[in-house]
Structure 1
C-alpha cells in the first residue's frame, strides 16, 4: 500500500502537530504514525510530497506469528518463541524488532553473547531502536560488568527515545554501583521528571541517601517506592526492608524526647497545666493520657509502656489527644465518654450466648466477670479512640515529618497486635463473633490509614468479610471528608456515627463536659444522668447546640418536610390504638436514641418497643416527635425538633 500526502495546509489540518515542522521532523512523525508493531514503513520526501509505503502483505502474513511470539514470551515459553522468531527473521531479516525480541529471549535463557549478537543485528537495521539499545546497556552493565560500554549504549538509548524513564533509572543504578552518587542522583531525578511514580527511581534515591547517611531522605524515598509499587515484587520487598532498616536506625540514633518536649511545652503554655510523662508497664494499653481534672490532680499525666517500639510516637499521640481536648474546651465543645451499669447490661444482653459458652467451660465466676469486663472495656476503647486516632495520626504525619520513622514503626507494631486479636484461634474460640467483627472493622480503618500514609497494605491480613471491608471503607471516606477542615470537637461526631452504624451506641454515653458542675466528680454527673437521662432539664449544651443548629439550618433550607409529615401520619396511626403507657415507653426509648444523635439519612434503626420494623432516620424523627406530643406534650418544646408545622399537617391528614 502506498500513501501520498502533499506537504501543504491540508497536511497540517490532519497532522496539526507538523505545522512549522522541518523536513526531518515531518519524516520522523509520519514514520512513527504509520509504524504498526514491529513493521516500520518506508517514508520518502520528494517534490513537496511525503510518500509512505506500507507492506500490508507482510503485515498480514507475519502479524499473527509476531503476536503469538509476544504472548509466548510473556508466559516464559522462550523455546517456543525462539522457533517462531527464527522463522520470521528468515522471511523478513530487515525487521529490527524481530532481532530485538530474539535478543531478549536469548538473554532470558542466559546466553548473553548470542543475545548481544542478535541485538547488534537489530541495531544494524535500525540504529534508533531504543529498546535494543537499552537491553545492550543492561547486558553489559549486569552480566559483563562493563559499565563503560553500557553507558555508551544507554547514552544512545536516551538519544533514540528521550521519554524512556526505564533507561534513565537503569543508568542511575549503574552509576550508583560505581559510587558516582551525584551523577546517579541526577539521572534518578531525570527519571522522575518523566514518570514521578516510577518506584525504581525512588528506591535508587533511597539507596543513594543511605550511602551518604542521610537517613531521613532514605526513609522518605523508600516509602515512595513502596507506595508506587503496583505489585508486591522484589522491588517492593526490598523497599519495605529499606524502610524498616532506616526507620530503626533513625529511632535508635535520635533523641526522641527532643521531638515531644517542645510540643509538651507548647501545650503547657496554652493550657496552663503541667504535663508529666513517664513509662508505666502496668497500664493496659500501649499509652494513655490522664486529664488532670478527671483525676483531681494539678497536672496531666502521659504514661506509656516501655516495651513498645518507638514509644516517642506513643507519647506524641497522647499529647495530641490532650491538644484536641484543649481545642474543644475553648469552644465549650469537649465531650466525656462514660459508661453506666445500664450500658454494661445492654452489652451483656448482646453477648449472652458467648457468656453461656464460657460458663460451660469455666466454673469460676470471677474469671467470667473479668472476661465480660475486658471485652466491654476493650470494645468501648476502640469505639472512642478509633475516630479520634485517625485524626491524630493524620495531624502527626502532616505536622511532624521528623516523627514519621517513629510513627511508622509504632503503628505497624500496633497493627500486628490488632491482626492477632481478630485472627488468633484461641481468641476466636471464646470471643463473641459480633464483637470480633466490630473490632475488625475498627482496625481496618487504622489499616486503611496506614496504607495511605506509608504504602504498606495489611488489610487482607485481618481476613475481613466483604461487609466489614465496605463499612470500614465508608468510615474512612467519612473521616476524609471531615479532615479537610476539622473543627474542634468534630471527632466526637464520628464517634457517634460509627457507633450507630455498628450498633454500639447503647454501650456508652457521650456527654458534653459542660454538663459537669464539677468536672472531677463523675459520680455526681452519673446521678444527674439517671435523674434526667434525656437532658430535657439542661439549659445549654454547646455541642448539642451546634448539632441542632446544623439540623435546623437544614430544615429551614428544605421548608416543610413532607417526608416527615407522611411518617408522622404513619406514627399517628400506629399510636392510635395504644394506651398512654405504651406510647410513653416508646417515647422514652426514642429519646434515649436521640441522645446519641439521629441521622436523617441513615437506615435500619431498630426500636424494640415497635416490633418487626426497621426505621429510616426520618421515620425515627417523626415517631420521636409524635410519641412525645401524645404522651408528654409539655416537654415537646425541649426536644429541639422544629416539626410543629409538620405535626399539625399530619394530624389533619390522619383525621
Structure 2
C-alpha cells in the first residue's frame, strides 16, 4: 500500500520501488501481489519498472492472463511486436472463452498483426522460401497477381500446365495474403518431398465421378427444376458443388499439415497466419450456417462440409485460442467425426513422412462416403498413362511395373494378396477364367494381346476386387467385376505373352491350372 501511495499520489517511483521490494521479501511467491505491483507501475507508464515485476510474476505462474496481457502491452510499447503478438495469444489461451482477457487478447493480437503487416516481414519470408524451393526442385516459381481467381491464392504446377515454371496466382486485397502465398509454397514443398521418393499422388476427377455425384444429388436437382430454374443455372450450380466438395476432400486434411508446418517453422509468420486462418474459418462457418445456402444445398453435403470446416476450426483454436466450434451448430455425430479426424491428424503430425497426408485424404473421404467422387493416382503412372506411345513401350519392356514404384498400386496389391492368402483357392476366379478362355477362343494372339495391353494400361493403378463396374473398350457393352477383370488379366497374358506371366505377382497359378482343365474337358 505504501508503494502504491508513493507511485500513484506522489509520483515518487524510487521510494515506491523500495516498498515494493520489501513486499517481495515478505511474500516472494505471491504472483498476484507481484502482478498488481507491476500493474500500478504500468498505469504510471513506468514500463521498464513494471516489466521487472511482471516477469517475476510470470516465473511463478505462466498461465495468469493478467500478467501475459500486461507483458504484451509493454512489448508493444517497446515496438517488439512479435513478442507482443505471442503474449496476447497466450493471454487468450489462458482465459475462458468470452472472458475479458480472452476477448482483449484476441483484439490486441489482431491490432498488433496489422502493425506487423506494415513491416512486410511476410514478404521477406516468402521470398527466402521461394528461392529455397526453386533450388530444391530445379524449377523457377513465378508470382502473378490475378483478381479473377476463385481463391486468394493458388499454385499451378509446371508439369500440370506444360510450362517451364510453377505459377502462384494471388489477390492482395485480403489482410495477411502473404500467409496464403507461403501456404502454396508448402504445398509445393510437400510434393517435392513425395516426388523424391516416387510417392507423390495426383487427385483426379473425371466425368464418371461427376455423374456419380449428380446421381446422388438427383432429388435436389429435381427440386430446382420444379422451381423453374434454368438448365444452364442448374449445371453451373452442380458444377460448383462438385468442385467445392472435391476441394474440401483434398485440401482440408493437407491444409492441417501445411498450417502446422508454417506455425512450427516460421514463427515470424504467425500474425499473418492468425489473421488469415481467422478469415478462412469464418468463411467456412458462413458456408454451413447461411439460411439461403442451407435451403438449396443437399443436407449430406452440408454435413460433410461442416465436418471438414470443423476440423479447421479445431486447429485455429489449438494454435490461436479463437473458438468458433459451438457456432457451427454441429450434430453430435458431426462433432464426434470432426474430433476423430483431428485426433488422427495429431497422431500423424509429429512424425509425418512424405506423402502420408494423402492417407488422411483417402481415410476421411472413405468415412464420409465421398470416395466415388475422385481418384488418387500415382503421379509417375499418370504421366505415363497420358502418353500412349510411352505407355506401350514401357508396357512391353516392363509389363507389370515390377521396376517402378506406384504407391497406390503397391498398397492395393498388398491388401489384395493378404486377402487371397486368407481365402486359399478362389473359386470365383476359376469360373471367371473359364469364361475368359471361352471368350478368347478363336481369337488371334494379336487381338488377345491388344486386350491384354488395355487391361494392363487400365490396371496401372491396381484393380480392386470389390469394384463391379470396370469397362474395356476392346470388349464393349460389358462390365467386369474386380475378380473378373483380374481373371481376364491373367488369362490374356497367359495366352498372348506367356513368357511374362511369372512377373504378374498374382497368386492365380493354381486357379489357372484348374480353369484350363475344366475348359479342356468341355
Larger Rg: 1
TM-score of the superposed pair, with normalisation by structure 1: 0.62
Deviation at 1:334, TM superposition (A): 1.3
Name the residue aligned to 2:214: 348
Deviation at 1:306, TM superposition (A): 2.2
Name the residue aligned to 1:268: 134
Structure 2 Cα separation of the partners of residues 157 and 593 of structure 1? 79
Name the residue aligned to 2:235: 369
Structure 1 Cα separation of the partners of residues 18 and 295 of structure 2? 65
What is the aligned counterpart of 2:111 among 232, 236, 245? Answer: 245
Name the residue aligned to 1:542: 406
Name the residue aligned to 1:467: 333
Instruction: Tell me if structure 1 keeps the 8 A contact 2:310–2:328.
Output: yes
Deviation at 1:473, TM superposition (A): 1.4
Structure 2 Cα separation of the partners of residues 477 and 550 of structure 1? 26
Structure 1 Cα separation of the partners of residues 462 and 68 of structure 2? 48
Deviation at 1:310, TM superposition (A): 1.1
1:64-105 deviation per Cα after TM superposition (whole angstroms, max 9, x unaligned): xxxxxxxxxxxxxxxxxxxxxxxxxxxxxxxxxxxxxxxxxx
Change (3 A) 1:140 1:632: farther
Change (3 A) 1:505 1:160: same
Matching of residues 209-608 of structure 1 within 5 Å: 209-254=75-120, 256-517=122-383, 538-539=401-402, 540-544=404-408, 547=411, 565=422, 568=423
Deviation at 1:546, TM superposition (A): 5.9
Name the residue aligned to 2:518: none
Structure 2 Cα separation of the partners of residues 289 and 495 of structure 1? 19
Structure 2 Cα separation of the partners of residues 291 and 161 of structure 1? 63
SS in structure 2 of the partner of residue 197 of structure 1: coil
1:477-497 deviation per Cα after TM superposition (whole angstroms, max 9, x unaligned): 111122112222111111111
Change (3 A) 1:204 1:331: same
Deviation at 1:551, TM superposition (A): 6.0
Unmatched runs of 5 consecutive residues or more in structure 1: 1-135, 556-560, 582-591, 599-604, 610-623, 646-655
Instruction: Tell me if structure 1 keeps the 8 A contact 2:467–2:482.
Output: no
Deviation at 1:291, TM superposition (A): 0.5
Change (3 A) 1:453 1:640: farther
Unmatched runs of 5 consecutive residues or more in structure 2: 437-457, 470-480, 494-500, 511-522
Deviation at 1:180, TM superposition (A): 2.2
Instruction: Tell me if structure 1 keeps the 8 A contact 2:143–2:167.
Output: yes
Instruction: Tell me if structure 1 keeps the 8 A contact 2:285–2:328.
Output: yes
Structure 1 Cα separation of the partners of residues 6 and 280 of structure 2? 43
Instruction: Tell me if structure 2 keeps the 8 A contact 1:386–1:446.
Output: yes
Deviation at 1:642, TM superposition (A): 7.4
Change (3 A) 1:173 1:470: same
Deviation at 1:356, TM superposition (A): 1.0
Structure 1 Cα separation of the partners of residues 366 and 460 of structure 2? 11
Name the residue aligned to 1:54: none
SS in structure 2 of the partner of residue 253 of structure 1: coil
Structure 1 Cα separation of the partners of residues 339 and 270 of structure 2? 24
Structure 1 Cα separation of the partners of residues 288 and 117 of structure 2? 29
Change (3 A) 1:280 1:437: same
SS in structure 2 of the partner of residue 229 of structure 1: coil
Instruction: Tell me if structure 2 keeps the 8 A contact 1:267–1:323.
Output: yes
1:214-264 deviation per Cα after TM superposition (whole angstroms, max 9, x unaligned): 111110100111111134211111111110000011113325321211111
Structure 1 Cα separation of the partners of residues 373 and 340 of structure 2? 22
Instruction: Tell me if structure 2 keeps the 8 A contact 1:337–1:384.
Output: yes
Structure with bigger RCO (C-alpha 8 Å, 6+ apart): 2
Structure 1 Cα separation of the partners of residues 48 and 462 of structure 2? 60
Structure 1 Cα separation of the partners of residues 467 and 12 of structure 2? 76
Instruction: Tell me if structure 2 keeps the 8 A contact 1:165–1:194.
Output: yes
TM-score of the superposed pair, with normalisation by structure 2: 0.77
Instruction: Tell me if structure 2 keeps the 8 A contact 1:625–1:643.
Output: no
RMSD of Structure 2 on Structure 1 (CA): 4.4
Structure 2 Cα separation of the partners of residues 186 and 644 of structure 1? 80
Instruction: Tell me if structure 1 keeps the 8 A contact 2:253–2:360.
Output: yes
Deviation at 1:537, TM superposition (A): 5.3
Instruction: Tell me if structure 1 keeps the 8 A contact 2:220–2:298.
Output: yes
Instruction: Tell me if structure 2 keeps the 8 A contact 1:173–1:204.
Output: yes
Matching of residues 38-57 of structure 1 within 5 Å: none
Structure 2 Cα separation of the partners of residues 639 and 502 of structure 1? 34
Structure 2 Cα separation of the partners of residues 594 and 270 of structure 1? 29
